[in-house]
Amino acid sequence: MTREESRLGERRGRELLRAMGGEPSHQLVFTDRVIATLVILWFQLPYATLAVFYDVDRSTVTRAVHEICPLLPARGFAVPGEAGLRLHTLADVFAYANAKGC
């Protein structure tokens, strides 16, 4: 991406001009992005539904979900009643189930 930006900058003959505050900003704070992602994944609601709830555009919710989803598997899934145990892969789930006799 930066190679393309520098090529375009050379073609323009100057750096890209940005107005003050012109950088992208998140209209949803991190906790709202996580909650919106979990609600969409759990209840399979349309993105537009949460956009109405948070009073933002549907694309804002879409961007939030696409930012948060990759973070969830990296964190792993906690096992209730087993402090500190997290299952990261499907193989971990099967191994845990086999060990518990499920």
Task: Give per-residue pLDDT as tens, 30-53.
Answer: 899 989 998 998 899 999 999 999
24-56 residues labelled b (16+ CB within 10 A) or e (exposed) = eeeebeeebbbbbbebbeeeeeebeebbeebeb
pTM for this predicted structure: 0.57
Say yes or no to pLDDT of 21 above 90. no
> For the ranges 8-22, 28-42, 83-97, which has the lowest average pLDDT?
8-22
User: Which DSSP letter does residue 100 get?
Assistant: H
Say yes or no to pLDDT of 20 above 70. no
To the nearest whole number, what is the mean pLDDT of the chain? Answer: 82
